[in-house]
């Protein structure tokens, strides 16, 4: 899932202040917490109230898309709803916002969310933790299914730094040491020999650019 948080209401209000007819578009895809129709409606109500305080009234339309990052879906679902719309407020992650900006280049598209990372729920419910940093060279086959790039504070690829205390990261006692988790996991799988293999430095050219499918 892609973990996002709601931007401060004042910031969002500042984006849409020059416009009157605004489409608020949720996304039913992979953002977490959910950012679908219900959240879009709630945001419209909050913005309406906040706008009234500033003596500004908006004409909101509210909708949602199964996956805002899909050009075809975004175009087919949202195009029929664009009549009279002067700006769009997207509840999707940054990828969805950029997709809408491509599909509707004539309209200002504003993000209602800050996008943080690709993650999953921690063992304790309610805590979301980064699990993948999109490095482009997945190591999970040799690290017991635990990502050192996203989960080790230093992104170390060839074992622990030596600062871990009681299984916690030296940089934060709230955080498990990723390499301790990897060790325990490989031990359970009788694969500790994998820890003796050193890995080349990360190739940053493999992430953050583009790949063919
Ligand atoms: S090794 Fe790379 S691709 Fe695999 S989970 Fe970690 S960051 Fe993601
Ligand atoms: S203590 Fe563990 S998680 Fe923290 S930086 Fe060192 S190896 Fe990485």
What residue ranges do the domains of the chain occupy? 2-116, 133-206
Checking if the pLDDT of 36 tops 90, the result is yes
Mean pLDDT of 37-49: 97
What band does 63 get if pLDDT is binned at 50, 70 and 90?
Answer: very high
More confident residue, 121 or 81: 81
Q: For a substitution probing ligand 2, which of 166, 172, 179, 199 has the most ligand atoms within 8 Å of its CB? A: 179
CB 129 within 8 A of CB 18: no
**Which of 153, 146, 181, 133 is CA-nearest to residue 3?**
133
Checking if the pLDDT of 177 tops 80, the result is yes
Checking if the pLDDT of 79 tops 80, the result is yes
Regarding the beta carbon of 164 and ligand 2, being less than 6 Å apart is answered yes
Question: Residue 137 CA: which ligand is closest?
Answer: 1
Q: How far apart are CA 185 and CA 146, in angstroms?
A: 8
Mean pLDDT over the full length of the chain:
93
**Which of 54, 69, 106, 68 is CA-nearest to residue 85?**
106
Least confident of 7-21, 98-112, 117-131: 117-131
CB neighbour list of residue 205: distance below 8 Å, 6 or more residues apart: none
Q: How far apart are CA 92 and CA 1, in angstroms?
A: 12
Checking if the pLDDT of 121 tops 90, the result is no
| Res 190: pLDDT | 96
Least confident of 24-28, 78-82, 209-213: 209-213
Q: How far apart are CA 160 and CA 178, in angstroms?
A: 8
Checking if the pLDDT of 211 tops 80, the result is no
For 2-116, which CATH superfamily applies? Answer: Response regulator (3.40.50.2300)
Name the pairing type of β-strands 21-27 and 87-90: parallel
């Amino acid at each position: 899932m892609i973990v996002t948080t709601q931007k401060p209401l004042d910031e969002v209000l500042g984006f849409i202040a020059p416009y009157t007819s605004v489409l608020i578009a949720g996304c039913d895809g992979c953002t977490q917490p959910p950012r679908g129709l219900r959240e879009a409606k709630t945001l419209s109500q909050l913005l309406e109230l906040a706008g009234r305080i500033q003596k500004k009234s908006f004409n909101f339309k509210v909708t949602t898309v199964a996956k805002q990052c899909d050009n075809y879906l975004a175009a087919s679902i949202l195009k029929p709803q664009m009549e009279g719309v002067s700006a769009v407020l997207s509840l999707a992650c940054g990828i969805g916002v950029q997709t809408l900006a491509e599909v509707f280049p004539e309209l200002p598209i504003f993000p209602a969310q800050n996008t943080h990372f690709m993650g999953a729920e921690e063992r304790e419910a309610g805590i979301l933790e980064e699990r993948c940093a999109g490095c482009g060279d997945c190591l999970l086959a040799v690290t017991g299914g635990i990502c050192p790039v996203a989960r080790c504070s230093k992104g170390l690829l060839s074992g622990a730094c030596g600062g871990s205390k009681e299984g916690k990261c030296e940089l934060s006692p709230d955080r498990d040491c990723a390499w301790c988790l990897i060790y325990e996991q490989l031990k359970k799988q009788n694969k500790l020999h994998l820890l003796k293999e050193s890995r080349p430095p990360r190739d940053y050219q493999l992430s953050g650019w583009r790949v063919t499918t």
